[in-house]
Structure 1
Amino acid sequence: MLHLKSRFFYIVIVYVIFVLCVNNVIFYFSTKHTVIGNVEEQSMMAARNLRIAIDRYKTSVNYVEDLVGQQLRTVAIATRDRLAPNADQVTNAELEQISRELGVSHITLLKRQGDDIVGVRSSDPKEIGMSTKKWGYWFTAFKQLLADREVTIPQGQKLPNYWAGPIEHADTDPNKIDKWGYFYDGTTDYIINPYVEDIQIKHYDQLAGPDVILNAMIQDNPSILEMTGFNYNTFGKPLKVSRSQSGQRFVSLYDRPVPFGQYTYAEGDRDAESVRSAIERNETIAYTTVVQGRKVVKSFIPVQPKSNDTTADYPYVIGVVFDYHTIREVLDEQIHSMINRIVVMTALSLVLLLIVFRMIKRNKDEAVRVTQEAYIDEMNDMFTTIRGQRHDFLNHVQTIHTMLQLKKYDDLKEYTGELIGEIRQINDIIQIGHPAIAAIVQSKVVIAMDKKIDFRHEFSPFGNLTLGVKSVDIVKIIGNLVDNAFDETVKLPVAERWVELKGWYTGRTLFITVRNPGPVLDDEEKRKIFEPGYSTKTAGDHSGIGLAVTKERVGYYKGTITVESDAEQGTTFIVSIPLERFGK
């Protein structure tokens, strides 16, 4: 039994530790999910801030470009006033002088030649003979300007008799990035094209461009390893390379796959797919991956264009690479906290379990002690009665002898009848052969006499039969059933008070029945009578747990207890307990 208790104790400890571990594992993964969610939120916040800063930068750049464009228009009008209306009458030297005087890099005159529009005069020798036929929408703008003196395409800056294209690499010298303006009012046979090298905007880009903003954000948040701008139109696709008229190869500013930021944590096709999905689904794409042996969280945040001018404002994606080491630090902290909680909770649980087990053992020892004391008292009562009979034996013999001498035969018959009945009752109890049962029966006989109840008991001699039921439990079962019967019987007139207790065994089954008169129980009462707290007695008389305890003890031995109730036989409780499991 001690081994079983220790085993149960350890099982409970293991179960408590298991529950704590499961709870903390769930907490760990929940925390991990939350931390990663926070990382994604930080990435989105950084991307939003970067987008706002880039939008402001673009607004500023567009404003500066518009100012430069307006200045170029003014230069073009001043140039018109100083030149002959026919390009053939204009010299390159004149254009050089006017360029220096008006403060622009160069001035070129464009004139239609067949199906092309060509540079015919210029302060820059590279521009002379320059074809614009393959310039796309630029060529369209030139044709509209010559035909209608107005440009209607969505791209570029449009003013009366004037159009300015976006800042771009020069076709004649891709090493330069210039801003061009084109003026034609019909008074000349050529388009006046002044342009300047974009030194001011380059300088502004160095002071407040996307890369400057991006680097400042990374410095403020060391967990962000890298931020990248991906051009949705060109990233992941074959590089779109243009060829200048001098044969040099270059990539247009608006065809760059990565217009700003660094791109060192590259994953090729996966990044391209993420960029495509982010724009097409218009939602952030985020995942954890390992790049260059480093675990990172990548986020791709889409940015849709705000205008119809897809050349100047194209859809792009901001990529944010977040160091997973930051997440690991938080999770490690959670693991340490988790281990500490497990240790503390396990220790507290062990202390609590020890206290509970001690209380259970103390209560159990107390219950055993009380039962044993009652059992011993009942045994003492029985043996006291037997000793009393032996002590009174000589008195009885002398009384009988005297009555014989006095020839009082009727009195003698009555006296011996009473004497024999008392002796038979004691002998019946002794012949039960089970000390505990004999003791409980004797104690109930005394109680029955006090309550004026005709207590009838009949037991088959058990002899050396091993019942397999603890004496404490057999006393509980019989005692509770008889007490319950006594409580019901005392409600009746004295002449109708009787209780019948029987016990016997057949084969390998022990039977105990207790029967008493009283009101008939219906099916609902039969069902509820074994529930803890339920009682048919007056409130306050009993706690209503006697029959519940009896059923629990019978069930412990795999037995059954049933109740039958009718007007003729009264109420009968029938207990059957198999002996195979507990007997020899």
Structure 2
Amino acid sequence: MKHKRRRTIIKMGIYIGVIVTVAFLIGFYLLQLRIVAFQDEQADRAIESVRTAMTSSQEAADTIEHMIEQQLYTSSKGIMNDLRGRELDSISKKELRQLAERWEVEEISLWQREADDIVVKQSTDDSQIGLSSKDWGYWYTAFDQLMSEEDVTVDEGYARDNFWVGPISRAELFDYIYYKFAYYYDGTTDFMVNAFIKDEDIYNVTFESGPSDMISQLEENHDVIEEIAVVNGPAYLAGDDHEVIEPATDIPVLYGHMTLDVSGDAGRIEAAVEEGEVQSVEFEHDGASYRKLFQPLEQDRVIVIALNLDTENEFKAQFMWLYVATGALTLLLVVFALRSVAKKVDSPNSES
């Protein structure tokens, strides 16, 4: 009878130990799920904030850009009126400079057909003379349509009668300076007027402020958010030799920064663009733990968010030790209680 009771008590101890262990594992698993959910929630809020900033910034940039385009249309038409009836050879650089000042544009170039090309023949800037557009893709298409007195049908830029202005772009001969280039041709001359201005306002609103400011605030105010970048998928995947001509399509990292580079980032960005699904990876860097999310956006763009896992890992470790200590204490109390019961069972006064 004593041995039977002792075996029963041992079984009870084992059952209680199993229950404590299972409870610990379930609790730890639920904690892990809650931490991941918290991280995802922080990431989702950050993504939505950046999306909103991008939309607001784009709307502001579009408004400024349209005003500049209308200004360029007025200036281009005015310059053409002033030059109408003139032979290109009779127009001097000095005269173009005076017209540029009068119509408040940065520079003026005059383009002319030359065989199967359209080339700059006169300009306020000597470095522009002789510039060819034959290999400029849709820009050349727009030039050819203008000088053929056809409607400009390219999808990029802004067009109206006798006029086309390209998207914000870097000058062919000037690094790190961005312009709006406008082109006017109405068939009354044998040259096309090209007036252009520096486009710092649009560039700053679109690429230097707005989303970039929002990203800085998110990184500063949220410990879990290490860094955020809005990546232009095709430009990023093109590699280091990629040339930036049009910022909106050619800058690899449009907003924020991406310094925590991980092997395979390019593949995950490519997968996010092609599959339209969030990609993720966990990694270590300088002794810290991170989780990186790749959220696809419209226009082949991807928001990359690096989450710092150290705080959550510390919390998990504290929870684990607390749970282990609590479980161990519980087991000790159970063992103590069972031993007390076992002693009573083994005492001479107990039943035989």
2:110 and 2:123 in contact (8 A); partners too: yes
Amino acid at match of 1:226: E
Superposed CA deviations along residues 72-112 of structure 1, whole A, max 9, x for unmatched, are 11101111121133322322111101111222111111111
2:167 and 2:246 in contact (8 A); partners too: no
> Pairwise mapping of residues 420-569 of structure 1 onto structure 2 (< 5 A)?
none
Alignment coverage as a number of residue pairs: 349
Superposed CA deviations along residues 219-239 of structure 1, whole A, max 9, x for unmatched, are 121211111122221323344
* Matched residue, 1:316: 301
1:265 and 1:292 in contact (8 A); partners too: no
1:266 and 1:291 in contact (8 A); partners too: no
Indicate whether 1:274 and 2:268 are aligned: yes
Residue 180 of structure 1 deviates from its aligned partner by 0.9
Superposed CA deviations along residues 139-161 of structure 1, whole A, max 9, x for unmatched, are 11100111134201111111222
* Matched residue, 1:261: 256
* Matched residue, 1:97: 98
Residue 29 of structure 1 deviates from its aligned partner by 2.3
- In the aligned structure 1, how far is the partner of 2:345 from the partner of 2:182? 98
> Greater RCO between the two (CA within 8 Å, min separation 6)?
2
* Matched residue, 1:533: none
Amino acid at match of 1:18: V
Indicate whether 1:332 and 2:317 are aligned: yes
**CA 1:175/1:278 → structure 2, altered by over 3 Å: closer, same or farther?**
closer
1:149 and 1:185 in contact (8 A); partners too: no
Superposed CA deviations along residues 430-465 of structure 1, whole A, max 9, x for unmatched, are xxxxxxxxxxxxxxxxxxxxxxxxxxxxxxxxxxxx
Amino acid at match of 1:75: S
**CA 1:342/1:289 → structure 2, altered by over 3 Å: closer, same or farther?**
same
The sequence identity of aligned pairs, in percent, is 26
Structure 2: gaps of 5 or more residues? none
- In the aligned structure 1, how far is the partner of 2:207 from the partner of 2:156? 26
Indicate whether 1:303 and 2:297 are aligned: yes
Amino acid at match of 1:24: F
1:95 and 1:122 in contact (8 A); partners too: yes
- In the aligned structure 2, how far is the partner of 1:87 from the partner of 1:232? 44
* Matched residue, 2:114: 113
Amino acid at match of 2:323: M
* Matched residue, 2:149: 148
Residue 12 of structure 1 deviates from its aligned partner by 2.5
- In the aligned structure 2, how far is the partner of 1:260 from the partner of 1:294? 24
Superposed CA deviations along residues 31-90 of structure 1, whole A, max 9, x for unmatched, are 213312331332233122212211221221122112111111110111112113332232
1:149 and 1:184 in contact (8 A); partners too: no
* Matched residue, 1:71: 71
* Matched residue, 1:54: 54
1:235 is paired with a residue whose SS is helix
Residue 303 of structure 1 deviates from its aligned partner by 0.3
1:233 is paired with a residue whose SS is helix
2:58 and 2:206 in contact (8 A); partners too: no
1:69 and 1:180 in contact (8 A); partners too: no
- In the aligned structure 2, how far is the partner of 1:141 from the partner of 1:107? 18
* Matched residue, 1:466: none
Superposed CA deviations along residues 500-523 of structure 1, whole A, max 9, x for unmatched, are xxxxxxxxxxxxxxxxxxxxxxxx
1:67 is paired with a residue whose SS is helix
2:171 and 2:245 in contact (8 A); partners too: no
Further displaced range: 30-39 or 50-59: 30-39
Residue 171 of structure 1 deviates from its aligned partner by 0.4
2:148 is paired with a residue whose SS is helix
Residue 18 of structure 1 deviates from its aligned partner by 2.7
* Matched residue, 1:21: 21
1:182 and 1:194 in contact (8 A); partners too: yes
1:148 is paired with a residue whose SS is coil
Residue 338 of structure 1 deviates from its aligned partner by 1.9
Indicate whether 1:284 and 2:285 are aligned: no
- In the aligned structure 2, how far is the partner of 1:74 from the partner of 1:151? 18
- In the aligned structure 2, how far is the partner of 1:32 from the partner of 1:320? 20
* Matched residue, 2:237: 236
RMSD: 2.9
Q: Which has the larger radius of gyration?
A: 1
2:271 is paired with a residue whose SS is helix
**CA 1:276/1:175 → structure 2, altered by over 3 Å: closer, same or farther?**
closer
2:84 and 2:188 in contact (8 A); partners too: no
Amino acid at match of 2:275: R
- In the aligned structure 1, how far is the partner of 2:296 from the partner of 2:122? 46
- In the aligned structure 2, how far is the partner of 1:219 from the partner of 1:131? 47
Further displaced range: 13-22 or 270-279: 13-22
1:240 and 1:255 in contact (8 A); partners too: no
1:117 is paired with a residue whose SS is strand
2:57 and 2:210 in contact (8 A); partners too: yes
- In the aligned structure 2, how far is the partner of 1:116 from the partner of 1:68? 28
2:17 is paired with a residue whose SS is helix
2:49 and 2:214 in contact (8 A); partners too: no
Q: Which runs of 4+ in 1 moved over 6 A?
A: 354-362
Superposed CA deviations along residues 282-318 of structure 1, whole A, max 9, x for unmatched, are 111123222344311110000022xxxxxxxxx1111
